[in-house]
Structure 1
């Protein structure tokens, strides 16, 4: 569920726009929100449904968020290369494999 959201998330990050990643798997049901504050990003983990308790947030430098997002993309593309090499030629996987985020 993260990989399908990643192209839009990475594009919004590049533009400096706030974004979120939704985790709706049973038992997880969380939304991770990313809000730009200057050169930093507030990362908040919120319940996707009101009956789920515990939300929290922390502030990290935007470069750390970039490294994490790029790492997820790169690692997925490298895994895809091993499992199904013919799919790596499809965008955005080919870009991710070449380090183009």
Structure 2
């Protein structure tokens, strides 16, 4: 059985962009950078809840995840509960995370014909945080290569320091 996991591996090198993002708004920056990442050999995978490989793409689904990453990290770090809505066509599932001590109860609700099996998994908090922080680190690393000035702003600058 495949337990929940998410992996992002960005290319080792990237061309410095001639200019920064067209809009400094957080969501716009994330969308633009994901579009750039989609044109590379970047690896982005999600799995779990009985499905070995989720039908995610870099341009849209990674962007959706990264847009919600600050809330996800804050929720996990504050021992609270948090949801991530992967609303992209074909994926359409909501992940709910509830921290209980050093464990996290993760639930997956699908809005497609695919049904998670199981629909609830238990994950070690440290392991889940390391996985999510790795995604944040990789994203910020790519930003530093493409838009170094933008990478010096929050939350991206904080993501570089998680390792």
TM over 0.5: yes
- When normalised by structure 1's length, the TM-score is 0.87
1:17-96 equivalence runs, <5 A: 17-47=80-110, 49=111, 52-55=113-116, 56-96=119-159
- Select the structure that is richer in strand: 1
Whether contact under 8 Å (2:79, 2:100) holds in the other structure is: no
2:68 aligned with 1:5: yes
Alpha-carbon shift at residue 64 of structure 1 (Å): 0.7
Alpha-carbon shift at residue 8 of structure 1 (Å): 1.3
Alpha-carbon shift at residue 99 of structure 1 (Å): 2.2
CA distance in 2 between counterparts of 1:52 and 1:43 reads: 20
**What residue is the counterpart of 2:35 in the other structure?**
none
Q: Which runs of 5+ in 1 are unaligned?
A: none
CA distance in 2 between counterparts of 1:34 and 1:40 reads: 10
Alpha-carbon shift at residue 20 of structure 1 (Å): 1.1
SS of residue matched to 2:96? strand
SS of residue matched to 1:75? helix
CA distance in 2 between counterparts of 1:36 and 1:85 reads: 34
Higher relative contact order structure (alpha carbons within 8 Å, sequence separation ≥ 6): 2
Alpha-carbon shift at residue 80 of structure 1 (Å): 0.8
- The number of aligned residues is 98
